[in-house]
Amino acid sequence: DSGVTQTPKHLITATGQRVTLRCSPRSGDLSVYWYQQSLDQGLQFLIHYYNGEERAKGNILERFSAQQFPDLHSELNLSSLELGDSALYFCASSVGMGVTNTGELFFGEGSRLTVL
């Protein structure tokens, strides 16, 4: 157990719909990262938040948005869903802003989104 909690674990929805994925980081971790992993693909970096502020964006679509709340949990909002958005969405947390010399990114088990 990494200590990172993601909900829901599975989600099936239709094209055009909107969903929200939730991530609770490890206790004490200030950074939250979101990644998308399509079938048999690598991890695509979406966005990074640190202590409530957006720090970096990757190839995140305009239909997607995220935020980190004062209690440090984060939500990833996906709207106008398309078939190609079907993927595993991972959240990771870390103490600092990047890979630190004390450790690592801690990943949740992911939220599997299926768009029909």
Q: Give the per-residue contact string, 30-69, with another protein (x = CB under 8 A; - = no).
A: ---x-x------xx-x--x-x----xxxx-----------
23 lies in the site for another protein, by CB under 8 A: no
Angle in degrees, CA 61, 23, 62, rounded to 5: 10
11 vs 88, beta carbon nearer another protein: 88
90 lies in the site for another protein, by CB under 8 A: yes
45 vs 79, beta carbon nearer another protein: 45
Q: Which of 19, 23, 78, 105 binds another protein (CB under 8 A)?
A: 105
Beta carbons of 103 and 95 less than 8 angstroms apart = yes
22 vs 106, beta carbon nearer another protein: 106
- List the structure tokens of 75: 């939500």
Q: Give CA separation, 83 vs 12, 58, 100, 115, in Å.
A: 11, 21, 37, 5
* Least separation in angstroms between CB 54 and another protein: 9
Stretch that binds another protein, among 17-25, 61-69, 76-84, 105-113 (CB under 8 A): 105-113
**Cα–Cα distance, 97 to 34 (Å, whole number):** 13
Q: Specify burial of residue 40 (Cβ count, 10 A radius: 0-12, 13-18, 19+).
A: exposed
